[in-house]
Amino acid sequence: MKKLFLILTVAVGLTACKKDLTSLRPIIPSTSTDAKSVDPKFIGNWKIVNLFRNGNDETSDFRDYTFKFDPGGKIYALRSGDIFVGNWTRRTETDQEKFNINFDSAPLTELNNNWNLVERDVNVLKLEFVIRKNVIESLEFRKFEINP
């Protein structure tokens, strides 16, 4: 009986560890820190359509990436079969919603910032970071559909 229990435990453990990115639910939580409270309108695949940093348009550096937000605080960047994992958080700081992104791999580290959440709806996520007066970095994600 103990041997059967051990075999079942190992089997369940091995299958539970397998990640299938097609089943990831890329979502952004709807409250400031509760990753379990999710807003279903953010389920889907996202692309960067605008990235301006240091006065430069860096959008083309990310045209081949697809992003998925996980409710547990992970952000997945997929490109040509490669998967890069980063972290994200969302919170309110002095009446401003903040959206923090953190990757360890270049060029994705260019997205790392404690962004101001400017706009969010079913298809758009706009973020900004004010460096100083009249110098603003901006990042915009748009939802897209994958055609079969």
Q: Where are the domains of the chain?
A: 21-144
The tokens of 15 are what? 């299958």
Which fold is adopted by the domain 21-144? Lipocalin (2.40.128)
pLDDT band at 38 (very low <50, low <70, confident <90, very high): low
User: CA gyration radius for the chain?
Assistant: 18
What tokens were used for 129? 């970071």
143 pLDDT band (50/70/90 cuts)? very high
Long-range Cβ pairs for the range 33-39 (8 Å, 24+) = 33/89, 33/90, 33/91, 35/71, 35/72, 35/73, 36/71, 38/71
Contacts of 4 (CB under 8 A, 6+ apart): none
- What the block records as the tokens of 148 is 């079969």
DSSP class of 146: P
Confidence of residue 131 (pLDDT cuts 50, 70, 90): confident
The predicted structure's pLDDT at residue 90: 86
pLDDT of 34 higher than 60: no
What pLDDT is recorded for position 28?
A: 39
